[in-house]
Amino acid sequence: MKKMIIIKTILFLFLFSISSQENKSNVSTVIDVEHSLKNLTHIKVSDLGKTIRYIPLETPDNGLVGRDPIVKVLKNFIVVEYRQRPHVDAGVCLLFNKEDGRFISKIGHEGQDPAAYSNSFSWTDEKEEFLYFHRQPNQLVKYDMKGNFCGKVEFSPSVLASYYVITDSEIIGYFDSTVSYLFSNQSIGFFEKDGRLKDTIPSFFSFTMSKDDLYQISVPRGQTIYNFLGSWGRAGVFLFEYTSAKIIRQIHALNAARIWKNNNNIRFKHDFIDTIFTVSGSKLIPSFVLNTGKFHWPVQERRSEKNNNERVFIADIYENNNFIFFQCIKGMFSGKPILYNSLYYKNTGEMKLCKNEDGIEDDITHFLPFKPLGMSTSGEFISLIEAWKAIEWLNKHPAAKNDQNLSFLKTLDGDMNPIVILIE
């Protein structure tokens, strides 16, 4: 009898141990944003990686980069998208070699013909063989990395997502309810590679726009937007202004990356929801909780014009094997919003958070401050500087020409294409 009691006790303790381990593995990791906002620190380039690389983009006549470009870095390519003149001329997509910045080709064109796209903002597939572009009202058109048109995906039901992750087996779309009116009750749609809808994940809240006191909607882009919204607004934003006093109560970034892939994990972060989820099948598994504490912005007050100056909005998020990097904005609707850079070390749980106003100090090559613009598909931090800005800096630091790490400065010309910066 005693032997049976002992065996049962050991079995119970063993099962309890397994259960506890399982529960621990399902507990979300807490990232303490509140504490970090109260204890600002300093982020340097050496915190982001060990090496920094400068890639001047070749400047051929048919590959000139326009103002306020969007840069995306793949394993072998650099994609640059821009509008020749905002709101006026068609968008342009250019492809460069990642190794040496050599121009490869112009990819597609905006227009009405069967091979044209509606917007030059692109996505790539998992193997990075193609670039995909919106074609209104319900297609993605596809080009290879030589600029050849390779067909289209037509979605059923007839909808286009705000952002895509394209894997070998499916197309996953994030639907921003502000612009995806036909799919406003869903956050994520899972599609076959031919565009047929397989499954959905419902939205956390529905979008309703009051037209009674709507003053105007504007779509600004460029450096001014970056200064207070960071890379979250890189493709432009909708500013919803209410009443004749032009009070901004809604801001929605175009093509914001609210869904992304890191290794085999697909992550999802909804605006005004302080949790980063892992997408598992058609379920959302909480993985990281951004504890904003007293700075939390309740979703039900997301359009309120009152009491928001101290509240924090989580803007752009990047992830690689070592870090979760995100930018957050305090007082987004105020006249003086503050943009912060936030770096979370996944292995140690350490958190660093600082104001973005002066960029991130380059303590490796001692060049211009680094201003984050995204993350490559290989996990490198991305930035971009105009050639004329580098020349201005060089005029103040002429000895830098002799620095082997800044050898690209010897070849600069004010009319050159920009220089891409990668930190790994």
CA distance readout (Å), 226 to 71, 232, 395: 14, 8, 26
Compute the distance between CA of residue 229 and CA of residue 373 in angstroms, rounded to an integer: 11
Compute the distance between CA of residue 30 and CA of residue 304 in angstroms, rounded to an integer: 27
Other CB atoms within 10 A of residue 286 CB? 13
408, burial (CB in 10 Å: exposed 0-12, middle 13-18, buried 19+): middle
In 3D, which of 84, 95, 92, 82 has the Cα closest to residue 116? 92
Report pLDDT for 107. Answer: 98
171-221 pLDDT tens trace: 999 998 766 555 668 899 999 999 999 999 998 876 665 666 777 878 777
Report pLDDT for 330. Answer: 95
User: What does 101-153 look like in DSSP terms, one character per residue?
Assistant: --EEEE---BSSSTT-BS-S-EEEBTTS-EEEEEETTTEEEEEETTS-EEEEE
Report pLDDT for 302. Answer: 85
Fold adopted by 28-203+211-412: Methylamine Dehydrogenase; Chain H (2.130.10)
Contact 419, 378 (CB under 8 A): no
Contact 120, 131 (CB under 8 A): no
Three-state DSSP at 201 gives: strand
Our measurement of the distance from residue 247's CA atom to the centroid of its chain's CA atoms, rounded to an integer in Å, reads 27
Report pLDDT for 14. Answer: 30
311-327 pLDDT tens trace: 999 999 999 999 999 99
Compute the distance between CA of residue 103 and CA of residue 383 in angstroms, rounded to an integer: 18
β-strands 139-144, 29-32: how paired?
unpaired
Residue with tokens 């598909």: 377
CA geometry: angle 253, 46, 362, nearest 5 deg: 75
Is the four-CA dihedral 68, 246, 357, 339 of positive or negative sign? negative
Report pLDDT for 179. Answer: 61
Three-state DSSP at 277 gives: strand
Residue ranges in the chain modelled with pLDDT below 70: 1-27, 84-89, 178-184, 206-212, 244-245
244-266 pLDDT tens trace: 667 778 888 989 999 999 999 99
Contact 242, 214 (CB under 8 A): yes
Report pLDDT for 200. Answer: 94
Report pLDDT for 171. Answer: 98
In 3D, which of 251, 421, 230, 250 has the Cα closest to residue 327? 230
Report pLDDT for 89. Answer: 58
Cis (ω within 30 of 0) for the bond into 137? yes
Report pLDDT for 222. Answer: 75
Which residues neighbour 105 within 8 Å (Cβ) at sequence distance 6 or greater?
Answer: 94, 95, 146, 147
What does pLDDT average to over the chain? 88
